[in-house]
Amino acid sequence: MKTSRIACARRTRTAPLSALFALTVLLVADVAAAQPIPVTPAVVAPRVSFRDVSATAFNPPFVHNSSVPQGDGLGGAAWFDYDRDGFLDLFLVGGKGQNNALYRNNGNGTFTDVAAAAGVQNGLGNAAVVPADLDNDGDQDLFLTGDGGFLGTGDTPFKLYRNDFVPGVTPVTFTDVTAASGIGGLLSQLDATFGDVDNDGLLDLFVTASGSFCPQGPNPPICNPGNHPNQLFRNLGGLTFQNVSAGSGVDTALGGCTAFFGHYDNDPFIDLYLGNCNGLTPANPPNPWPLSPVAAPNQLFQNGGGLTFTDVAPSAGFATFGLFMGFAPADFNNDQLVDIFATNLGPAPPPLGPQPHAFYLKTGNLVGPPPPVYTDLAAFLGVAGLEFGWGTTAPDFDNDGWADLYYSGSMPPAGILGNPGRMFINQLPATAALTDITSTLPATANLSTQYSSGTASADYDNDGDTDLVVVTDVFGGTGGAPLLLRNQINLTTNPPSSLTICVEGDPSVGSNRDGVGARVAVQAVIQGAPILQLREVYAGSGFLSHNSQWLTFGLDDATTTTLIVVWWPNNVVETFPNATANQQVRLVQGTGVLQPGC
């Protein structure tokens, strides 16, 4: 195990406080004071334990193979409960020319592929997958980007599927509503994310355009030496969308590879984070083809109040140049400000040279001016120069109340291998450090010779700890099966406790039903000190993937919470009764009560 240090930054305050968040701020004011910056290291031995259950979990087995016809080799994974039975199901995208898989969770640790019966198999191949309740009817629909426009020979079609399931009335079926959706014109599409940008209670869509290396020259027509623009689609209701990219400020063309909607400035409007990984230039000038990547800056689009955005990344300390491919947003130091780990190319020979990963620690006021800023601590933490990465996620693997980190990825077509899939345990509050526990994972979890990409986390077995899936593609005649790691910390002596929360917004008052954009704060007395944790609800984050929207809060030795507060997407703050540990509860907007189960 290797340990590196992470800063425990203090949250600063300003007055007057926003009336909407004042309640939470006042309740946590004493908590910040109770958490001094650690001075003497005292590394705690990680308690987390994982078991590779990949070989027995999936019926039938799944293989992602982009070799023939040529695709990108990249694939996403999404955890969501498509049939509302209380168990998280798993969607895995197929490689170009192959079937997608929708694995129904059988509730006993195994999954059955129902994609064909559900109407989402499609046989074309896709890249990103994002589930979201786009019509606020209580079940989650599916959006999938095409495959092959990045490294391959052209995009497969994107897809929008409406979930038509009605419990006790209709079987689980999805209807392809792409043609009537109003979504179109997507070139070199790669990642996607949903957020309610205009606060009308409907989730809007952002799709990144990665650009293409154009290995075949100017044909197929997807090739464009200037890249293609990202696109923003406003949800009009009824699963129809309007392209509002022009004039929005987000239709940049720097090779967008990853994005998520989150709260930068804690005002009423959700903002957009964009990682660019494929600025393009001719590889052999003056010949225009093929193209080669160049570093491009990250972008942070501050929402000006609906459909116009301003890139504030330079002033916010977020405009790092690189080839950034995955974002893991999490409040790593529990100061109620969401930090971000970003994967990059890592070590690279000339002409690109090293492209370090970033670990953006967010500092500033919880509410009010001046706006927050980010400081990149990756070099300080010792994670900047690690291997190439695509997907990343940051749940609390050991349920101690502090967010941890995982990332993986490789790119065999470019000769880039070696990332085993790295896991880090956050050592706060004992010491400001990350501990690399990759060597403690099962030997079969070593992906250093695999073509891995999408990564997603969830408590799929409802045992109170967070599990992990990683997508791999066939390379060198091996690989292609997903890696599924089951967290077994609950089987250890005196296992730490947790609380899983799912939220449901009220569309009648302007919140989307999925609660995307909601911020949930949970406080508990952990190891004798009050700890306040903050989680945001996302629809699409990481890389091509979607973590579970059921939020698992590690409570360690706590048996109950001392505070539960939700800041809903419509900008209303609501408190809920305290909950005992080791259960799932649903928070429905406007009820003020805990409902059992998710």
Local structure of 284: helix, strand or coil: coil
SS (H, E, C) 119-180: CCCCCCCEEEEEEECCCCCCCCEEEEEECCCCCCCCCCCCEEEEECCECCCECCCEEECCCC
For residues 76-98, average pLDDT:
96
- State the average pLDDT for the chain: 88
State yes or no: cis peptide before 220, omega within 30 of 0: yes
Q: Which two tokens stand for residue 20?
A: 């909407």
More confident residue, 167 or 222: 167
Look at residue 492 in the predicted model and tell me its pLDDT. 81
Range 261-273 average pLDDT? 95
Q: Cα separations (Å) of 140 from 83, 401, 471?
A: 9, 29, 22
How many beta carbons lie within 10 A of that of residue 84, not counting itself?
15
Average pLDDT over residues 152-161: 84
Position 547 pLDDT exceeds 90: yes
Which residue has tokens 């989402």? 120
Cβ–Cβ under 8 Å, residues 77 and 540: no
Let me know if 306 is exposed, middle or buried by CB neighbors in 10 A (0-12, 13-18, 19+): middle
236: helix, strand or coil? strand
Report pTM.
0.93
More reliable by pLDDT, 437 or 215: 437
Taking only the tens place, the pLDDT of each residue in 361-407 is 999 988 778 899 999 999 988 999 999 999 999 999 999 999 999 99
Give yes or no for residue 15 having a pLDDT over 80: no
pLDDT band with cut points at 50, 70 and 90 for residue 36: very low
**Per-residue model confidence (pLDDT) at position 365:** 85
Tell which residue, 598, 436, 492, has the closest CA to residue 51. 492
Residue 432 has pLDDT above 80, yes or no: no
Give the 3-state secondary structure percentages of the chain, helix then strand then coil, rounded to 5: 5, 35, 55
Tokens 């990547």 -> residue = 293
Q: Are 568 and 199 in contact (CB under 8 A)?
A: no
pLDDT of residue 33: 30
Taking 80 as the threshold, does the pLDDT of residue 242 lie above it? Answer: yes
Q: Is the model's pLDDT at 564 over the cut of 80? A: yes
Mean pLDDT, range 166-177, rounded to an integer: 86
Mean pLDDT check: name the lowest of 96-100, 130-134, 452-456, 476-480.
476-480
Question: Which residues have C-beta within 8 Å of that of residue 322, sequence separation ≥ 6?
Answer: 277, 295, 296, 298, 342, 344, 345, 355, 356, 358
Q: Which of 54-68, 162-176, 471-485, 490-504 has the highest mean pLDDT?
A: 490-504
Q: What is the reported pLDDT for 45? A: 60
Q: What's the average model confidence in pLDDT over 253-264? A: 95
**Which residue segments constitute the domains of the chain, with CATH numbers given?**
50-491 (2.130.10.10)
Q: Is the model more confident about 469 or about 42?
A: 469
For the stretch 304-360, pLDDT in tens is 997 999 999 999 999 999 999 999 999 999 999 999 999 999 998 778 889 999 999
pLDDT of residue 285: 81
Q: What is the dihedral of CA 412, 418, 420, 422, to 10 degrees?
A: -110
The pLDDT value given to residue 516? 99
Average pLDDT over residues 183-199: 93
Lowest mean pLDDT among 33-47, 371-385, 419-433: 33-47
